Chain A
Amino acid sequence: MGGLQKKKYERGSVTNYITRNKARKKLRLSLPDFRRLCILKGIYPHEPKHKKKVNKGSTAPRTFYLIKDIRFLLHEPIVGKFRDYKVFVRKLKKAYGKTEWSAVERLRENKPTYKLDHIIKERYPSFIDALRDIDDALCMCFLFSTFARTGKCHVQTIQLCRRLTVEWMNYVVAARALRKVFISIKGIYYQAEVMGQLITWLVPYQFSHDHPTDVDYRVMATFTELYTTLLGFINFRLYHSLNLYWLPCTLLDIKEEEAQLDQFPVEGAREREQKEQEAQKKLFDGLKFFLNREVPRESLAFVIRCFGGEVSWDKSVCIGSTYEVTEETITHHIVDRPNASTQYINRYYIQPQWVYDCINAKIVLPVEDYFLGVTLPPHLSPFVEEKEGDYMPPEKVKIMALQRGEKPEEEDEDEDEEEEEDDNDDEEEDEEEDEEESEEKNLKKMEKQRSQGKSLQVKVTPGKMKVENPERLEQEEKAEEKRLAIMMMKKKEKYLYDKIMFGKKRKIREANKLTAKRKAHDDAEKANKKKTRK
């Protein structure tokens, strides 16, 4: 045949991938360093389409990276810094071993450091890109800022995280960018809209952490290193966009000369949306809050200020309180206790959930449900957007009605009546069905008797007009048509169709289950109520 024999696994998709170990060797880095590099540069493994081919015939589980990615890493200046650091550590060890303290000191002073600015710029070529990816950064920084100084990470990191998160919150307050808040069992979710990007972050509750042992804090620290840099730059840019002075770690310093934006006419839905948003931004304008000492101060202060409310707290809790409890103009006093000892007449005493629910509903909700000692209405997630056919909790329906401006009615009696009516309807339907069934049975019986040639009980009964429902017939016809058409589907399509329908059905089933559960619960409640009334 002539020609060289073609070797296996030298062409095709093999050439696009490289295993992790090979990549490591190519970069001449240790595994932890390689890990750090991947984290910082945002390199992740790829799953080849044909794993066995890429793995040179072996089926052993391996991690593959794109060879292009690895080549891209080769030119990274930080790799050099990593090596420098390795040398530094070696020298330092040696100096320690020889107890040459002056050398140790000298080495310490020349400890190699690196900056991540260029990496940020490279990973996020435009500011919007960076904003899009800030969710994780915020979550991580908020987490690290709550760490105690227990040696899980450097104190400077904790302080930096704290500083950056405070800066971020200040920006959100100044820009009135907050949209949604959700108190979950994990922590508090916030969602803000910055430059058109929805940014969601989760803040843990202010408790000391129970540090798990099976978590690699080095990995987390590397991520935090990247995220703090990213967040710092973003904060800087955001502050400048608002004409705020960016003074690291100072409290708000607003220059109140927001440029008047040119108003462009916007139409229809957009306009309404914008108006709604404007209204939401001024939700708490003119309200004065006072926080009791047991409520989460930082979260509430942040949230209230985001929507234009004034807030203060007891002087002994934290610095920054602006007015006292005794202030006459306070409109809402937020308390998280079964009862308050001294009550002022001209203010509402409410539970903290009211604030969050108001924000999510975008209106100031009636305070009655949130008084002290009252069983709170459920706190719903503002992130769930129900599509048609999804289950919607009744509380949400109520809130939506409130949003539309409808007044809540006297519920209990109405509900009862409705239910009764429903029951009646059901019964009627049942009856109809029963009749039909019985008719059919009779017919069958007669048929049987006739065919078997037995003597019939000759009896002439006046025949009933069988009412044919044309609509129903049409529907049935259509349904049959569909059924028949489904039979003619190709195998592949049918599989897909079945899957989709299965999913739909499951959804419906789940929704039904929730409805049933709710109904059972409500019934139980009602029964309880009646009992107590009696």
Chain B
Amino acid sequence: MEESSGNMRSSEPTAAMKKVREKTAKKRSKEEEEEEEEQIFNFKDKPAGKEEEDEDLSDSEESVFSGLEDSGSDSEEDEKESDDNDDEDDDDVTAVESKQPKQTEEEEEKEEVVGGVTEREEEEKKEDEYEHDSSDEEDIRNTVGNIPMEWYKDFPHIGYNLDGKKIFKPIRNKDELDDFLDKMENPDYWRTVHDKQTGSDIVLSDEQVELVNRLQKGQFGDVNFNEYQPSVEFFSSDVMIHPVTNRPADKRSFIPSLIEKEKVSKLVHAIKMGWIKPRRVEDDTRGRFYDLWAGEDSSILGRHKMHLPAPKIPLPGHQESYNPPPEYLFTEEELALWEQQDASDRKLPFVPVKFSSLRQVPAFSRFIHERFERCLDLYLCPRQRKMRVNVNPEDLIPKLPKPKDLQPFPTTQSLVYRGHSGLVRSISVSPSGQWLASGSDDGSVRFWEVCSSRCMKTVQVGGAVKSVAWNPNPSVCLLAVALESVVLILSPSLADRQVVQSSERLLSGQPEADTSDAAGPVIWSDTEGEELNQGIRLKIQHPKAVHQVAWHAKGDYLASVMPDHSSHLQVLIHQLSRRRSQNPFRKNKGLVQCVSFHPVRPYFFVATQRSVRIYNLVKQEMTKKLQANSKWISSMAVHPGGDHVICGSYDCRLSWFDLDLSTKPYKMLRHHKKAVRGAAYHRSYPLFASASDDGSVIVCHGTVYNDLMQNPLIVPVKVLRGHVITHDLGVLDVTFHPTQPWVFSSGADATIRLFT
């Protein structure tokens, strides 16, 4: 190394050498440590002292051999090879930069280290300089190169000298014992080093030992080297008069560069095509505001009409206060309820809390949640215009004539008829209006005087009475009673003698000869004995249980109902004068509930479970079928004019049919809370009443106009209460007084009441 640097110092910078020097400078760093040592040894090796000169010479020769001089202008690759891959790269740049300072360093270093070497040698070296190249990395005494010396372990030689002759290992037969002895006895043992390449022991001089120490400490090998000397800035911002290098400018610095031209043209093209945009000017207009609504014109139509602005958040109430009035705080039950409820069911989304002062109020933990939910509402919720019904509830109530103006109608309970011991199923008023007949489950029929509530007569009939009906003909005094499967005709003899006689006459009519086919199983029979004394005159035996009896207005015909699913024999019409019965229907059209005759015309109303059929008795055909729109009809009443029908049903409704209008009810009245049991029209006043299981009788005003264009006016006028509900049954039957605006009702509490 020293040699090479020595070479460099005085070297004239030829082109070739320069290059090489660069390389060496670059590699210097690492090799130094290893090689330097060795070389120093070499110098100091006394036995090898003679060789040294040869080596130096051979050094130059070697470099000639290696062809370094020729390859001076070559690429660095060659160089590396020639360097035996000693060391690797540094950047070119750094190499160049460090070149100059290093040169100086090396100069001094060399002077110092080589101080021990004789002048002559130095002289020689100077001469050699030009022949030598600077590559001194190898040990030139042995030409094997930088290989592990173990490879020669088994050979007698350790390499070849320049002439190709074997270099033999020095004969050493030192064994462990010798070694040990040497160690113990030789004072220089610690500074003796074995040179593997030559196989000889070298004793280091004091300088060398010191050098080793310094290097081990990481100091410069040269004692006098000042590492802090001021550096000379060759390449600085200052413009100097003289160039740093004397090198003439290249040709390429005078001619335009093709590569650059290509690059520029590429960029130009990219700019032209818009691929490269000029650097964006930093605009802060995003945060800059101006008068956005300056040119406010109404011509800009906002959104289409479907747009709905979002509703605002409801404003907080007293509950949300940090210090609410005490009544808004939750009690324990309320709190428990609140905690149990689902979040969506809660009336308040928070629990009201009271803080005694403002400083104790903590942060609301769901604040961000609530804002977020509001955001979600704003962009995720479908909006809908909900028409809020802002109606005064009073306006909803229909304007009806005042009940006061519609008088007379029954308003108060005036009489109670007591005497029955079972529920009173049916009542009937005599056409004169003086007498009231009632049939009860206790097996008796009682006759009452209406005005005094006196029981005039009690007839034990021996069975639960289902229905009683007073003959509507005022010239006779007869009562039809239905019980079990019998219809009894009673003559209570509660009238003038004339009337009684005429009824006797009617009853004494002779039966027709054939009672065989039409009436079938019906048996007419006179009564005798006890029964006759009681006033029972006729017995009409039916095949099945009779539920209802109804008179024709003339008083000669009587209809009885025997509800039965399976047979067509459900209704029988009896003629009293001839004691004849007949079944008007050939087919079963459903369970018959009740029947009624038209007051003036030859029509017959049959109410089945869900509909009312109207038959023309003369033509013997069905003229109309009214749909009641209810589940189960319980009762039916025909208006005295004959054009209107009301039907009560077990599903709490009362339907009014106008026969002129349609087969559907004209009005459904849902006045009752429970099943409607009875319905009745007044014969002369525009009144009708309905009785129900809820214990009430509702009297309605129902004006019927002669003008066909005008619909009936229906106004409820009075709710009459009085009956006590027993066994879930309230009022069972209702009927009007024939002349007065009075209404009778019979109930399950075994009473009959008169409302006037």
Contact = CB atoms under 8 A, between A and B. Distances in A.
Contacts of B302: 125, 129
A353 interface: yes
Contacts of A380: 318, 321, 325
A400 B646 CA distance: 60
A237 B327 contact: no
Given A237-B292, A240-B291, A336-B357, A46 B327 contact: no
Given A113-B286, A215-B369, A35 B353 contact: no
Contact of A130 (B293, B310, B383): B293
B368 A211 contact: yes
Contacts of A120: 292
Contact of B358 (A126, A240, A352, A485): A352
A481 B402 contact: yes
A130 B291 CA distance: 13
Nearest to B318: A381
Interface stretch (B234-242, B373-381, B497-505, B562-570): B373-381
A351 B309 contact: no
Interface string B299-328: 011111010011011011110111111111
Interface in B426-469: none
A340 interface: no
Contact of B286 (A43, A115, A186, A375): A115
Contact of B327 (A132, A186, A480, A521): A521
B327 A379 contact: no
A110 B280 contact: yes
B381 A223 contact: no
Contacts of A44: 310, 378-383
Interface residues of A, number: 110
B289 interface: yes
Interface string B323-335: 1111110010000
B364 A187 contact: yes
Interface stretch (B576-584, B612-620, B713-721): B713-721
A292 to B, nearest CB: 10
B371 A220 contact: yes
A336 B358 CA distance: 7
Contact of A233 (B289, B312, B399): B289
Given A351-B357, A482-B397, A500 B317 contact: no
Contacts of B303: 123
B359 A336 contact: yes
Contacts of B396: 489, 493, 496-497, 500
Contacts of B316: 182, 184, 186, 189, 381, 383
Q: How large is the interface on B (under 10, 10 to 19, 20 to 34, 35 or more residues)?
A: 35 or more
A380 B317 CA distance: 8
Interface in A129-173: 129-130, 132-133, 135-136, 139-140, 143, 160
B544 to A, nearest CB: 38
B671 interface: yes
B531 to A, nearest CB: 29
B189 interface: no
B155 interface: no
A80 interface: no
B153 interface: no
Interface stretch (A3-11, A23-31, A200-208, A429-437): A200-208
Interface in A175-222: 182-187, 189, 200, 204-205, 207-212, 215-216, 219-220
A350 to B, nearest CB: 12
A484 interface: yes
A276 B643 CA distance: 71
Contact of B287 (A185, A232, A246, A485): A232
Contacts of A497: 393, 396-397
Contact of A212 (B298, B320, B368): B368
A58 B241 CA distance: 92
Contact of A185 (B327, B353, B382, B719): B353
A336 B391 CA distance: 49
A488 B376 contact: no
A376 B323 contact: yes
Nearest to B419: A451
Contacts of A115: 285-286
B558 to A, nearest CB: 35
Given A46-B306, A209-B363, A378 B324 contact: yes
A117 interface: yes
Given A125-B302, A143-B368, A210-B365, A185 B322 contact: yes
A143 to B, nearest CB: 6
B372 A393 contact: no
A517 B376 contact: no
Contacts of A47: 382, 384
Nearest to B355: A185
B277 to A, nearest CB: 6
A218 to B, nearest CB: 11
Contact of A204 (B315, B331, B367, B397): B367
B168 interface: no
Contacts of B381: 44-45
Contacts of A490: 398
B400 interface: yes
A207 B363 contact: yes
B196 to A, nearest CB: 47
A87 interface: no
Contacts of B370: 186
Nearest to B276: A106
B317 A517 contact: no
A242 interface: no
Contacts of A207: 362-363
Q: Which among B350, B369, B383, B397 has the highest number of chain A CB atoms within 10 Å?
A: B397
B715 A220 contact: no
Contacts of B313: 135-136, 200
B13 interface: no
A126 B378 contact: no
A400 to B, nearest CB: 15
Contacts of B365: 210
Contacts of A132: 309
Would you list the 8 A-B pairs with minimal beta carbon distance, nearest first? Answer: A207-B363, A383-B315, A47-B382, A518-B327, A378-B325, A517-B327, A184-B320, A232-B289
24 contacts: A39-B379, A44-B380, A66-B306, A125-B302, A182-B321, A184-B320, A185-B350, A185-B353, A189-B316, A212-B369, A215-B369, A220-B371, A223-B378, A233-B292, A379-B322, A381-B315, A383-B315, A481-B403, A486-B397, A487-B670, A496-B389, A515-B327, A517-B331, A518-B325
